Amino acid sequence: MMVSHIALWVDDLEGMRRFYERYFGARAGAKYENLKKCFESFFLSFDGGARLELMRDTRRSRSGEGSSSPPAHGWAHLAFSAGSPEAVDRLTEELAAAGFAVLSGPRHTGDGYYESAVTDPEGNTVEITV
């Protein structure tokens, strides 16, 4: 198991992308927009393989007013790479059987990932990806 990426809710998606590119050498992938879930994001890659997903809730104004869910700032989720779709399925089933909430999936996402999302014991979102 390895950490796949960390996701952070932001207000200024483009500004945050430029910040991490300029000061930390990030390389941004294409902007992803999910109209159904009302968010847009960039995956940033760093030397050594670490990745950061910057996410913006498109229902919120830049002033922070609007929808109260999901949060406007802060960590969105921690993602672990399980290595295969079958491993994602197995671990998701194991966590569900142990009583942890399955928030979504397993499924193929609009940006090409195969993932599920579960909660940890304190309710934080943990993604399980390939």
Architecture, CATH, for domain 82-130:
Roll (3.10)
Please state, for a pLDDT cut of 90, what percent of the chain lies above it.
59
Judge whether residue 98 has pLDDT over 90: yes
Cβ atoms of 22 and 98 within 8 Å: the answer is no
Which pLDDT tens digit goes with each residue over 41-80?
A: 999 999 889 999 999 999 875 444 544 454 556 788 888 8
Residues of the chain with CATH 3.10.180.10: 1-62+69-76, 82-130
End-to-end CA distance of the chain: 10
Q: Is the pLDDT reported for residue 124 higher than 90?
A: no
Q: What's the pTM value of the predicted model, to 2 decimals?
A: 0.70
Exposed/middle/buried for residue 50 (C-beta within 10 Å: 0-12, 13-18, 19+)? middle
Of 63-67, 79-83, 90-94, 96-100, the least confident: 63-67
One CATH from 3.40.50.720, 3.50.50.60, 1.10.3720.10, 3.10.180.10 for 1-62+69-76:
3.10.180.10
Q: Which helix (H) or strand (E) holds 35?
A: none
Question: Residue with structure tokens 């993602």?
Answer: 79
Q: Which is higher by pLDDT, 91 or 76?
A: 91
14: pLDDT strictly greater than 60: yes
